[in-house]
Amino acid sequence: MTTEYEELISGMVQEKKAKVAELTGKSGKEKQLASLASDIRFLEVELQRYQQGMALFRTKGVPKVGRWGNPETEEKKEEA
């Protein structure tokens, strides 16, 4: 299951890779190629971190929180 953000970042990576393929072999484009390579690496790292965070969020159970931010316990449920 991918999110809209993951699709957006993946699309940006694909666009930049297509631009690199277009510029490869042309003279005088080394600076642009280096910039694109840097951008691609940044986006790939951002996507990887986001996916790791989402995987943790999806697998870790979220504790139920009661009034005033205190965790609910079985004892408090029985008293109420």
Q: Distance between CA 16 and CA 33 in Å, rounded?
A: 10
Residue-wise pLDDT tens digits, 4-63 = 999 999 999 999 999 999 998 888 889 999 999 999 999 999 999 999 988 887 787 766
AA identity, residue 57: F
Scan for tokens 């642009």, then name that residue: 32
Q: How many CA atoms lie within 13 A of 69 on its CB side?
A: 0
> Distance from first CA to last CA of the chain, Å, rounded?
40
- pLDDT at residue 56, rounded to an integer: 83
Instruction: Find out whether 63 and 71 touch, Cβ atoms under 8 Å.
Output: yes
Pick the closest to residue 8 from 64, 50, 57, 59 (CA basis): 50
- pLDDT at residue 62, rounded to an integer: 67
